Chains A and B, each alone.
Chain A
């Protein structure tokens, strides 16, 4: 299920004509008065999924809080490309401390606001997958366990892109990174147990956990806005393709994000208090191959010869997601 109540007027397309909607139903980005929380002039690569996701997410959070927002940022691409001193692209109160401590810093911000009796200003923390699932994982789990009043957004591009595309705990199996190269008898990343943070977040029974991608930006906006209606720890995991790290064309960023959801590799769902309550249905199912083929990080699966074993393995992962998160309409 899409989390928005908006109907699609142009059948077969994901575009929605804002002009046909009531003003309060229009997207945040359609509003000329929007914040532009991450404004132009930053140094992200062309086609950066993270820059797009962060702008949509924070603009939505700004609208939801009537501009009463403080953002905390982990070290990573987003921090580096947005704030080369003395410049800053942030048009929100923004704090960067370290790589592994964004959740705890956000806890501190929220605690200070509470102690001062400020009940209107809200707190968002954001980081990449390395900051979230690896180095900052302890701090994030602590924040969840205490149910601190923070929305944490992970922009997942599935590796350490800022340092040059090394493997993270969120790197998918078989993907080539700088530290899981496409060499040897088992090229690319290992097939491990995985570290799927949305489920780990749900295991903390926090009020809200959701996933989203930049292929459905209205859904992303709606989830941020919904999260901001709640208090306590909330977690949003956003898939943001990285042309540099994934070896994809800059113009394919959104397409790849869409293929990730339509293949079932990246399930889009919402969970309240630890239970899945809704998932975005696959509109037109595609094979994982269609997704993999657009990215050179998987090119070793197709040349010099096709590796059916690994491709089938990845397809099974996608099929399992489809079943587990009920991604197909009955």
Chain B
């Protein structure tokens, strides 16, 4: 399974692998929003956590359809399905590879890009922390969506439609936690729910995604 992770990481970093696409998109969003809403820094500071979260979520969405589609087209998925590693494990590794190449860079970049949005002082820490806890759920839910739509022609649109509603709890509680922490209000509850959504997705979705792939390979 480690071999699968290493291969996926290697493929992403090689030419044409798509690493940096999400990051560039995230940068564009955070650069453009201040132009769109105007230079008033009090307003920007108020919407900064939400914009950073929405930007990260959409950036995550960009690379989802690559998770299984390429492996499906070149026949690797058939071979993986007959290989001795369990499909659930393969799916979890795919999600981990997606997080390492998309979610983690976005999380690390968010505090940097926060400067463009006049993010308040303690906001840097909290946007970083909530993204760190929340983005694994985005990758796992996205992997599940990709598993459902693998093999469909033009499945990318369907994938986005399927995944976006599932992303809402993470977005809601992630951005809300950051906002509450910045305002100095009690954030323990929303933070716990954010972590709960991530833990639940990581525990359950590999099984659902593996089942979806088995059906799609028929």
Are A and B a genuine interacting pair, yes or no? Answer: no
By a beta-carbon cutoff of 8 Å, the part of chain B in contact with chain A is none
By a beta-carbon cutoff of 8 Å, the part of chain A in contact with chain B is none
